[in-house]
Chains A and B, each alone.
Chain A
Amino acid sequence: MKLFRIRGGVHPQEHKQLSAHKAIEVMPMPELLRIPLQQHIGSPAVPVVRKGDSVLKGQLLAHAQGMISAPVHAPTSGRIIAIGKHIAPHPSGLPVRTITLKADGNDRWIDLPGPVDPFTLDANEISERVAAAGIVGMGGASFPSAVKLNLGKRFSLHTLVINGAECEPYLTCDDRLMREHATEILDGVRIMMRALGVAHCLFAIESNKAQAHEAISKAAGNHNGIRTVKVPVRYPMGSEKHLVQTLTGEETPARALTADIGVVVHNVATAFAVHEAVRFHLPLISRVVTVSGGAIKHPRNLRVAVGTPVRELLAHCGGFREEPARLLSGGPMMGQPIINTGIPVVKGSNAVLALTAAETATHPAMPCIRCGSCVKACPCGLVPVEISARTRHGDLQGAADLGLMDCISCGSCAYVCPSHLPLVQYFNYAKGELTARQRAEHKQKETKRLAEQRAERIAREKKAKREAMMRRRQAARKRTKSEKAGANV
């Protein structure tokens, strides 16, 4: 199949050999599970259980709220011991509403309806089941999958792309899932194709995962419509817009969706979860997480219950070989720092990395030498050097005019910078600050509207008062007149 080149990108050392040969291992259930009510983009879920309730594995703990949201289910049987705030799996370390579940050790499932043939269901029923199972994009973005499966109603779609690129170094969870559960994944893919109403599927796997490619090709067999494609090893191949461009040659318009060009992208782990949810009614309560990095004693791929504290994962992998310089949730390019190992694994966590000082290679920043390496590396065709300069001087509007909002925060620019400038860090700051300003602007408009409404109301009340007074006065005058007339008679 003809592939198309994407602009820029980098090729960091892969380090996948640390855990790629380790089969997925089921992690023992921890005693305490911390299940955040917001593990997805959108509104947080609303709890339906109370403190002290006993729950069974797979029972609904919190239902979705609003259009873009996802429910949360119990990862094991046990008792709810708290519904309160707990530190969020987020770089801010801020608290998030969390359900704390004490496992009873029985791991007893709730009664599930028998398996169904997904190919007797229509598109709506499939997406309803996916929504009810609480499935979110498992590649890291955590966008509710049911919403993406409904895109067929709004856009005319022709292709489903399954993202098995796994371009981030160290990560091997998708690789292992493809090698070990190819049939299940392919079943999930066919279910998703049915939900989206598309006849074609491109299953993209980076060419460094030969065994996964082989397993998927074998499972796909000669099912027409599904085609496995080896894509070149290049970071950020797993970015959905870039993957679609590599496969179809079409570029997604700025700030638009891939659905605008008729393509929907789903991650392999999501396909697996869809298979389990639609065929067997199993909610999303566990996921495969890669625990790796030079500082980890025994790197592994673990199937972990959602809510398991990161601390337990590290302990299960034998702890640290040496004191890690950095703990990350996610890959080394786009992962977020773990500031407290008490944070839980959530639906979107794909890895826990403990990197040594040699692996992180932090250098002090030096002045920019205007070499243009970042311009060559940027996969979005931006000019990081100019955008960062404007951001540094507080000219955020200038940065936005240069395309800041098209930046995908892949970190390629910061990776290649010979002066070790924190380029992507500037962009993350600028994007956040711009959003905050938009919020402030919105509030100001609201204030204006409220003040105007109030002024109007006060004027109306004054007028009403004046009129009432006039009426009273007139009535009084009439009365005195008639009294006078009465006296005369």
Chain B
Amino acid sequence: MLAAITSLMLLGFALGSLLGLASRYLKVEGNPLQKEIEEMLPGSQCGQCGYPGCAAAAEALANSRAPVTLCPPGGVVLAEALAGKLGVSIDLSTLEEKQPMVAFVNEGLCIGCGRCYKRCPTDALVGGPKQIHVVISDSCTACEKCIDVCPTACIEMRPIPVTLQTWHWPKPSLAYTA
């Protein structure tokens, strides 16, 4: 009887201290999933999702407060990757892809104030003071931050034209499924 009680007490004590030590030395700061998700996001802090930055968006995603399709620059690719990570299923056939856009500076109106390139999260706008600014289309994510700060409203978003290199056949439609 006594042996059983002592052995159980010892066991409890030993395991309890082990857990205590583990909670002290193997402590995880924050939600690890959030960090992993943040690494998957573009990190341009553009705010198109409605959250103040990618960290906030990642937190919302980790706590399943936001849909996996929230990130416009990430597009379908990111939505699929996030769905895989979070183990949720998304119906991609219903997800309509926003037409990819790119910023365009109307050179006739640009006064070279330099506000837009200070705002651009990916340094896609280049120019100097009192020089006409220009957009590096390959770097632009169409976050529209530059539009708000432009004093002459000379920046607009234009769809990226389809070229021979980017064109591909559309999905065939089956009459009998309609």
Contact = CB atoms under 8 A, between A and B. Distances in A.
A429 B42 contact: no
Given A365-B174, A366-B176, A92 B76 contact: no
Contact of A450 (B44, B169, B175): B44
Most B CB within 10 A of own CB, among A90, A432, A448? A448
A444 B168 contact: no
Interface residues of A, number: 41
Interface stretch (B16-24, B61-69, B159-167): B159-167
Contacts of A94: 162-164, 167
A443 B76 CA distance: 13
Nearest to B167: A92
A367 interface: yes
Contacts of B112: none
A454 interface: yes
Interface string B118-159: 000111100000000000001101000000000000000000
Most A CB within 10 A of own CB, among B92, B121, B122, B170? B122
Contact of A435 (B122, B139, B168): B168
A336 to B, nearest CB: 10
A94 B162 CA distance: 8
B43 interface: yes
Contacts of B139: 446-447, 450
A367 B176 CA distance: 7
Given A88-B164, A447-B73, A448-B44, A453 B169 contact: no
B43 A365 contact: no
Contacts of B164: 38, 88, 90, 92, 94, 96
B44 A439 contact: no
Contact of A437 (B77, B91, B169, B174): B77
Interface string A321-343: 00000000000000000000000
B47 interface: no
B49 interface: no
Contacts of A421: 174
B163 A447 contact: no
A123 B140 CA distance: 45
A448 B172 contact: no
A256 B20 CA distance: 56
A388 B34 CA distance: 36
Contact of A432 (B73, B124, B168): B168
Interface in B42-67: 42-45
Contacts of B74: 444
B27 interface: no
Contact of B77 (A88, A440, A447): A440
A211 B44 CA distance: 66
Contacts of A435: 168
Interface in B76-107: 76-78, 80, 91-93
B80 A448 contact: no
Given A364-B176, A437-B76, A446 B138 contact: yes
B114 to A, nearest CB: 15
B122 A454 contact: yes
Contact of A440 (B75, B92, B124): B75
Contacts of B169: 91, 425, 428-429, 432
A71 to B, nearest CB: 19
Contacts of B171: 391-392, 426, 429, 433
A447 B175 contact: no
Interface string A364-397: 1111000000000000000000000001111001
A428 B123 CA distance: 36
B92 A394 contact: yes
A422 to B, nearest CB: 4
A426 B172 CA distance: 6
Contact of B42 (A88, A431, A451): A451
B44 A447 contact: yes
Given A365-B176, A444-B42, A451-B42, A429 B121 contact: no
B176 A451 contact: no
Contacts of B93: 393-394
A78 B138 CA distance: 39
A443 B122 CA distance: 11
Given A94-B163, A366-B176, A441 B77 contact: yes
Contacts of B91: 394
A199 interface: no
Contacts of B168: 428-429, 431-433, 435-436
Given A94-B164, A450-B122, A429 B80 contact: no
A452 interface: yes
Contacts of A366: 176
Given A91-B169, A435-B168, 9 more contacts: A96-B164, A392-B171, A393-B93, A428-B168, A429-B168, A432-B167, A440-B75, A450-B123, A451-B121
7 contacts: A365-B175, A397-B80, A433-B168, A440-B75, A443-B138, A444-B74, A451-B121
Interface of B: 42-45, 73-78, 80, 91-93, 121-124, 138-139, 141, 162-164, 166-172, 174-176
Interface of A: 38, 88, 90-92, 94, 96, 364-367, 391-394, 397, 421-422, 425-426, 428-429, 431-433, 435-437, 439-441, 443-444, 446-448, 450-454
